[in-house]
Amino acid sequence: LSDRLEDLKRVTFQEKLGSLYDKVQRVCRVASGLSVLVPHASEKIKRAALLSKCDLITGVVREFPELQGLMGKYYALHWGEDAEVAEAIYEQYLPAHAGGDLPSTDTGAVLSISDRIDNVVTFFSIGLKPSGSEDPFALRRQALGIISLLINRGFAISLEELLQIVFEGPVKTDVADADTLKEEVLGFFLQRLEHLFISEGYPHDTVQAVMEKSKTLPLVRVKEIMDAVESFKKEPVYNETLIALKRVFNILKGIREPLSDEVDEGLFMHEEEKVLYQRAREIAEEVRVSVERFDYRKALLLISGLRGPINVFFDNVLVMDKDERVRLNRLCLLAMINRMASGFLDIYRLQEL
């Protein structure tokens, strides 16, 4: 099968994007970068990527294009390739439609992601992107396929990290510089992700609370955070917690000056300051460990324990004290709580029930 690689140079993939051989080289580079996600299958992934399009120039596939991938699988098996490599050549085209079957192997999943992300980025790079109801290259479907694969396989990679792998190589662009193109593609994925989450029944405020983190967290983690939020919403303390935390957020959002990570206990003038600070310090490590263990519900429940001390603080302490040092220290205390509460989601985007 590999003997057909050179023949790919004579077949155009897209006028501005080069030959099928060029396409395969790009997919190989992305697949190699992604292979770290499944080290046990690293060599199989690279081999499957190299052979992924060789069947497209066979007589059978030229006559029956719908057999692409399937014939590649059979050719690979015939020529003695590893069974998982052969299966991946077929599975690179899965899912074939929204809600369709996903690859059964890590190798097939990585190859499918590599092929699709190359399509999305390269077509965007030459200005061929979806517009309104028009999506001639099915880029929306391909983006949804990538999202589904990342969640289904639980791959520990974020959308930003995925795009970083793509953009580590030379990406020619007719429409903008590489950084602008990357942001545009990331925005496109976030739109698809938001649409998917809403269609799965997650409330709008829950989805909005995780959209920013969806750039930098693996999508399987994002789903777990939303599930934790939905569980937390059933707790009697949900509304009280949200109202208390929004008091913190609202007083900080108008502050432009940088706030230190350090809080000076020596500047406390009220017992309510001490109680809030001590309680926040007590749970900070537990919250951090819970997040590291992906126990987001426990983290939310721990944070909810601050609602009482926060309300008592605001009821009895004037944050904007005339003494500049005292004022800044109180703001630093609130900023400490704000960082803890918004470490894994934008909790302030949630709505009371």
Q: Does 174 score more than 80 pLDDT?
A: no
Question: What average pLDDT does this structure show over 138-162?
Answer: 96
* Range of the structural domain that residue 251 is part of: 230-349
Q: Which residues contact 248 (CB under 8 A, 6 or more apart)?
A: 310, 334, 337, 338, 341
Residue 148 sits in the same domain as residue 12:
yes
Tell me what pLDDT residue 201 has.
96
Residue 176 sits in the same domain as residue 134:
yes
Q: Does 2 score more than 90 pLDDT?
A: no
In a domain, 19, yes or no: yes
Phi, psi of 19 (to 5 degrees): -90, 175
Residue 150 sits in the same domain as residue 287:
no
Residue 274 sits in the same domain as residue 165:
no
Tell me what pLDDT residue 3 has.
76
Residue 171 sits in the same domain as residue 257:
no
Query: How far apart (Å, rounded) are the C-alpha atoms in residues 27 and 112?
Result: 10
Query: How far apart (Å, rounded) are the C-alpha atoms in residues 299 and 231?
Result: 12
In a domain, 141, yes or no: yes
Tell me what pLDDT residue 97 has.
86
Q: Which residues contact 346 (CB under 8 A, 6 or more apart)?
A: 208, 209, 210, 211, 212, 213
> To which H or E segment does residue 113 belong?
helix 106-125
> To which H or E segment does residue 18 belong?
strand 18-19
pLDDT single digits (tens) 49-85: 999 999 999 999 999 999 998 999 999 999 999 999 9
Question: What average pLDDT does this structure show over 230-253?
Answer: 96
The encoded tokens of residue 63 equal 């006559």
pLDDT single digits (tens) 98-126: 888 999 999 999 999 999 999 999 999 99
pLDDT single digits (tens) 175-225: 668 889 999 999 999 999 999 999 999 999 999 999 999 999 999 999 999
Query: How far apart (Å, rounded) are the C-alpha atoms in residues 335 and 114?
Result: 41
In a domain, 185, yes or no: yes
Tell me what pLDDT residue 170 has.
66
pTM: 0.90
CATH of the domain at 169: 1.10.3210
Alpha helices in 5-95, H assignment, sequence order = 20-34, 42-51, 59-63, 70-78, 83-91
